[in-house]
Structure 1
Amino acid sequence: MAALCRCRHRWKRNNCLHVLTRNLTGKYDYDLVVIGGGSGGLACSKEAAQLGQKVAVLDYVEPTAKGTKWGLGGTCVNVGCIPKKLMHQAALLGTAVKDAQKYGWQISGPICHDWASMADAVQNHVRSLNWGHRVQLQDKKVKYLNLRGSLLDEHTVRGLTKAGKETLLTAKNIVIATGGRPKYPTDIPGAMEHGMTSDDIFWMKSSPGKTLVVGASYVALECAGFLTGIGLDATVMVRSIALRGFDQQMAGLVTDYMEAYGTKFVKECVPKRVDKLFSGALQVTWTDTLTGSEHKDTYDSVLWAVVREKQGQAGSRAPVELLKARGDRGQYHRCLLHPSFRPCLPPPFPCSFLASLGARSRSLSDFVSEDGRSPGQVCQQKHGRKHNISTLPVCMRTVDALVFLLSALYTSTWVAQSRVFIMLPSLVVWSYGDEGVGAGGEWSMPRHHRDSVSTASVTRPPGSVRSHTFGCPGGPMGTDAQLLITSCSAGRAPETKALGLDKLGVQLKKESGKIIVGADESTSVPNIFAFGDIGEGRPELTPTAVKAGKLLARRLAGHGTELMNYDNVATTVFTPLEYGCVGLSEEEAEERHGKDGIEVYHAFYKPLEFSVAERDASQCYLKVVCERGGDQKILGLHFTGPNAGEVTQGFALGLQCGATYSHLLQTVGIHPTCAEELTKVNITKRSGLDAMVSGC
């Protein structure tokens, strides 16, 4: 044993001397080492090798909590785009078989689906892609190492095998492209023990059966959609809004279609616990966020596609009266803070306060004016002192329940040599009992006053994040509750924890854990670069990672200077009714240009294929968001319908080239197609005219 220890010590010492010598002489083992064998990492490594660089790529897949693991290729190939699209296709084929009977096809017997056959075919295809990637790396002379990579310094990568054997590699440049993995909500008992994620469902050998999908991200809706499409019982539990970050009108059409075709939705609810019954079924307990009532149901599988992470605790006890509001359109206000909502910004501390006549109390009347023309005021406790802060003016005639933002996260930045504080628009807090819930949804309150500070529109401001607790002196007639700050993410966490970045000084975004990168994908440490899902503010899309990786490889090899353009990147949500988009959502366009600064052309249409099959086309819709003045430059294009990805892809080129509404009308469409409706759209939302397409 002593001899073995001496050998190990000698090996490590020699290895360290070897690395030190290489770093001092500037002679490295490789020109480039890439950590991460996903689509982006592979594209970067192969491109660099083609340009004459000596390249190594490290990739290691940590098994999921369920023990699921896979081969080379990353999320897209193994547990994302590829298997998802194939299972989506399986669901579409089921619908096509049903439609076929209307077209004269004689089908005898019931139509049924066999999960095992589909899964076997999909998994075999994925394995063929795994093998293909390894062959391509070998052909291009890229060294592939199945090692868990971490950084020792700006030129040294440590690789560990599953057994713990260490290998050190030195490189002139290091690229991090590790992507992200789904996360379980750790505050929900039974979530990890009895649940699964999108990293598991595509590798299941047997049917998941009756499935609860928790979350309403695109991953959640796509999974629920294909499960329903192949004949399974699927339910989506939505805490606030569906498809956060997408155009909310289009998101509503997507979920309406899913609901009409069999997917169940449990809305404004949050899960509390998952228990496994003696029968093997999973009993899920959840709470209705509007009423506070508790409900239960049993499922065969629970798929987590959204997670709520506690970012910290902002105060011990805070008064709460009501946790909901009703807007002037008669619907429950599903969020306290819409992504486009901005409080006015009287420095240094912003917060918001809404109240109604029905929820008035002596303490409240001191802070909210009845006509809504004057800002309400709240008191902030800080170091034993009280500060009155002007906030959102609210017309009290439009609400009939109390909404109080108990706590807020804000970030600081510099504007015109003055330090201002900006509330993070995607983070909002309210609490009941010990359950904190993030906010989201449709803003149904009157338009608020906008402060003249231009930074009010900043969505990802720089600076450190802090938290504060706000409350009324004496409190509204209320219930004491524990206040927790919570945030909502798409259910994926960046793979950064095991990389050793903190020791090197690589800056991370505290809230997301992602690496802060520049326009050239550089990090805060020279010679270390990062791109793809791991980069802060970067779209979590395979094509952008592939393109960014190739451009980075060219720059590092001295064969180009082009930077990745992340604007106007098209994407598609592969739900039963597909949704494709490129450019700004209507909400984003209105936020940037003002409601009077945009023109929205829209149309409801019926695909020809739906007519003979007698399928409902109520949610087949398109809209083109344009600047209102001048040539009416197109800001965003949105489409729900068959083959939405194929339709949207071509229009993405137009937006990259600065297409205008006039260009769209000058384009001759292909008849009869769904895409041609975009070349004929001429009804504006502003006009109020019927947008239903009729005839040619």
Structure 2
Amino acid sequence: MEKVSKTFDYLVIGGGSGGLASARRAASYGVKVGLIEGSGRLGGTCVNVGCVPKKVMWNLADLAEKLKLANKQGFSIQGENAFDWEFIKKKRDAYITRLNGIYARNVEKEKVDYISGHATFLSPTHVAVEMLDGSGTQIYSAERILIAVGGQPIWPSHIPGYEYGIDSDGFFELEKQPKKVAIVGAGYIAVELAGIFQALGSETHMYIRRDHFLRAFDPMLGENIMEHYEKSGMHVHKNTPEFKRIEKLDTGALLIHHDDGTTREVDTLLWAIGRKPKIAGLNLDKIGVKYNEKTGYVIVDEYQRTNVSSILSLGDVCGKFELTPVAIAAGRRLSDRLFGGIKDAHLEYNQIPSVIFAHPEAGSIGLSEQQAIEKYGENQVKVYRTRFFGLNYAMVDPEDKIPTAYKIVCVGPLEKVVGLHIVGDFSGEILQGFSVAIKMGATKSDFDNCVAIHPTSAEELVTMR
């Protein structure tokens, strides 16, 4: 083995949400920490090609939908509400660059040694890093090494011409707004990006293999979102025939060929068919770290430990609730346990809230209705549900109203709330507060005993019968 350039107490591979959180927390305890990131910019998927720029675009799409209703509510807005994609891309990119700089300064301030390069394991305690600055390969060692490299989009390489499409990362590289776009996928990423395109004026075609999307969530969420998408003019193609091939035309447009002989021409094709852990090149087999051979997810216990004593792992690479706040919480608790003297510190992967930034917005925590029945038995489950139009649509014509739908899933004689599923405006903000109550073991009577705030949509959650 070549000479070691530097030895650390803790070496973190991956400068995304989880890796940064764990590295910074460890450094706060006086630990000598190294942080390796191979993309050249800190923040990971969330900051660069995920949550943050996605929410920027969602906000603009939400504004576009409100502008469409303005003339019907007493405002006089003249002309087309044209959206300048190129203008906002420049502003959004500049904003993300500023965030990258803030992360880099925080890492430096907290005395974490930032190493910019691609890591490969040489042993359970040694890593080779091919430096991005072209200076060659450096060897680093540590008593403990954390794998927090995140995930990446899956591409359908079995389809001829698949490479003419883009993935969710590529969405943020688009310089111009496509006039006609096809999104392939049924998960929350596909649903979110389809909603953005549609609201901003692109002719949007969404291809799903079955007759509904968001299958990982309570069906109520997908049903209500799909209803609005189709009502707004989105083309949701259900039970889609297999893609046979993708042809790039001389005009630059793409022609989708299905195996049933049908075709469709679009400007942009976006694959949103899932994600996979970013473990290629780490050389995990060499050091004996176990991972799921089918999915690639690194196998860890409740304390983020792999089967190799010096190696830990967390975040999207482990496949447990692939959400930024989950990775951050797991990273901080891990460092608290390893270096802060908090012996049992670890993240409990249950009752974790999540939000789908679709149009309308939706949120979920806990068990779906079906999951509750399977776990507790149908006779133990009681479901409360409501569907209504919020007061913010009181001055809107019936055909333009967007419904709000709520579902509370309870179990047992005390009606403990084990699931909450909401669709409608401000769902993310509403769910955050109710999630605290559910995490604390709230019952339906606890909800009922809370005085409603009127007039709000959320008051329905504490007045439901």
Tell me the TM-score range normalised by the shorter chain.
over 0.9
One-letter code aligned to 2:35: V
Q: Which residue of 1 aligns with 2:368?
A: 585
1:506 to 273, 285, 289: 289
Q: Which residue of 2 aligns with 1:60?
A: 38
What's the CA shift for 1:596? 2.0
User: Mapping of 1:230-249 within 5 angstroms?
Assistant: 230-240=200-210, 241-249=212-220
More helix by share: 2
Counterpart contact for 2:360–2:402, Cα < 8 Å: no
Q: Which residue of 2 aligns with 1:465?
A: none
2:231 to 254, 260, 276: 260
Q: Which residue of 2 aligns with 1:373?
A: none
Is 1:116 paired with 2:94? no
Q: Which residue of 2 aligns with 1:557?
A: 339
Q: Which residue of 2 aligns with 1:271?
A: 243
TM-score, normalised via structure 1 length: 0.65
Counterpart contact for 2:393–2:402, Cα < 8 Å: no
What's the CA shift for 1:168? 0.6
Is 1:29 paired with 2:1? no
1:284 to 230, 246, 256: 256
What's the CA shift for 1:654? 0.8
CA distance in 1, matches of 2:213, 2:102: 36
2:77 to 83, 107, 112: 107
One-letter code aligned to 2:8: Y
What's the CA shift for 1:231? 0.7
Superposed CA deviations along residues 349-392 of structure 1, whole A, max 9, x for unmatched, are xxxxxxxxxxxxxxxxxxxxxxxxxxxxxxxxxxxxxxxxxxxx
CA distance in 1, matches of 2:74, 2:220: 36
What's the CA shift for 1:138? 0.7
Is 1:603 paired with 2:386? yes
Q: Which residue of 2 aligns with 1:174?
A: 145
Q: Which residue of 2 aligns with 1:546?
A: 328
Q: Which residue of 1 aligns with 2:20?
A: 42
What's the CA shift for 1:112? 1.0
One-letter code aligned to 1:599: K
Matched residue of 2:421: which SS? strand
Superposed CA deviations along residues 437-458 of structure 1, whole A, max 9, x for unmatched, are xxxxxxxxxxxxxxxxxxxxxx
What's the CA shift for 1:103? 3.3
Q: Which residue of 2 aligns with 1:139?
A: 109
Counterpart contact for 1:188–1:272, Cα < 8 Å: yes
Deviates more, 1:101-110 or 1:494-503: 101-110
Q: Which residue of 2 aligns with 1:650?
A: 433
Is 1:158 paired with 2:128? yes
Is 1:625 paired with 2:443? no
Matched residue of 2:140: which SS? strand
2:222 to 218, 226, 251: 251
Q: Which residue of 2 aligns with 1:375?
A: none
Q: Which residue of 2 aligns with 1:226?
A: 196
Superposed CA deviations along residues 252-292 of structure 1, whole A, max 9, x for unmatched, are 111111111122111111322110112221000124xxxxx
1:84 to 29, 48, 54: 54
One-letter code aligned to 1:266: H
Counterpart contact for 1:254–1:619, Cα < 8 Å: no
Matched residue of 1:138: which SS? helix
2:462 to 679, 686, 690: 679
One-letter code aligned to 1:550: R
Superposed CA deviations along residues 459-494 of structure 1, whole A, max 9, x for unmatched, are xxxxxxxxxxxxxxxxxxxxxxxxxxxxxxxx2110
Counterpart contact for 1:120–1:205, Cα < 8 Å: no
Counterpart contact for 2:337–2:345, Cα < 8 Å: yes
Q: Which residue of 1 aligns with 2:311?
A: 528
CA distance in 2, matches of 1:665, 1:208: 48
Matched residue of 1:529: which SS? strand
One-letter code aligned to 2:269: V
User: Mapping of 1:228-627 within 5 angstroms?
Assistant: 228-240=198-210, 241-269=212-240, 270-287=242-259, 293-306=260-273, 491-536=274-319, 538-560=320-342, 561-614=344-397, 616-617=400-401, 619-627=403-411
What's the CA shift for 1:511? 1.5
CA distance in 2, matches of 1:139, 1:295: 58
CA distance in 1, matches of 2:304, 2:179: 43
Superposed CA deviations along residues 640-678 of structure 1, whole A, max 9, x for unmatched, are 000110011111101110000110111112111111111
CA distance in 1, matches of 2:155, 2:43: 23
Matched residue of 1:147: which SS? strand
CA distance in 1, matches of 2:422, 2:69: 23
Is 1:185 paired with 2:156? yes
2:44 to 47, 60, 74: 74
CA distance in 2, matches of 1:97, 1:619: 18
Q: Which residue of 2 aligns with 1:638?
A: 421
Counterpart contact for 2:153–2:276, Cα < 8 Å: yes
CA distance in 2, matches of 1:510, 1:98: 49
CA distance in 2, matches of 1:250, 1:232: 24
What's the CA shift for 1:198? 0.5
Matched residue of 1:252: which SS? helix
Counterpart contact for 2:408–2:421, Cα < 8 Å: yes
* Structure with the larger RCO, 1 or 2 (CA within 8 Å, 6+ apart): 2
Counterpart contact for 1:604–1:618, Cα < 8 Å: no
What's the CA shift for 1:613? 2.4
CA distance in 1, matches of 2:435, 2:318: 23
**Percent of aligned pairs with the same residue?**
35
Counterpart contact for 1:123–1:203, Cα < 8 Å: no
CA distance in 1, matches of 2:49, 2:312: 25
CA distance in 2, matches of 1:231, 1:151: 47
One-letter code aligned to 1:626: C
What's the CA shift for 1:617? 4.3
What's the CA shift for 1:223? 0.4
CA distance in 2, matches of 1:55, 1:614: 59
Counterpart contact for 1:242–1:251, Cα < 8 Å: yes
Counterpart contact for 2:29–2:340, Cα < 8 Å: no
Deviates more, 1:591-600 or 1:571-580: 591-600
Residues 72 and 618 from structure 1, CA distance in 2 versus in 1: closer, same or farther, beyond 3 angstroms?
Answer: closer
CA distance in 2, matches of 1:153, 1:609: 60
Counterpart contact for 1:626–1:633, Cα < 8 Å: yes
What's the CA shift for 1:570? 0.5
CA distance in 1, matches of 2:178, 2:151: 24
CA distance in 1, matches of 2:60, 2:109: 34
CA distance in 2, matches of 1:250, 1:243: 8
Counterpart contact for 1:605–1:617, Cα < 8 Å: no
Q: Which residue of 1 aligns with 2:182?
A: 212
CA distance in 2, matches of 1:207, 1:618: 26
One-letter code aligned to 1:33: L
Give the gaps of 5 or more residues in structure 1. 1-11, 20-27, 62-69, 288-292, 307-490, 683-696
CA distance in 2, matches of 1:214, 1:272: 14
User: Which structure has the larger Rg over C-alpha atoms?
Assistant: 1
Superposed CA deviations along residues 538-581 of structure 1, whole A, max 9, x for unmatched, are 11000000000000111110431321011110010000101111
Report the RMSD for the aligned CA atoms in angstroms. Answer: 1.5
Counterpart contact for 2:221–2:423, Cα < 8 Å: yes
One-letter code aligned to 1:84: K
Matched residue of 2:464: which SS? coil
Matched residue of 1:499: which SS? coil
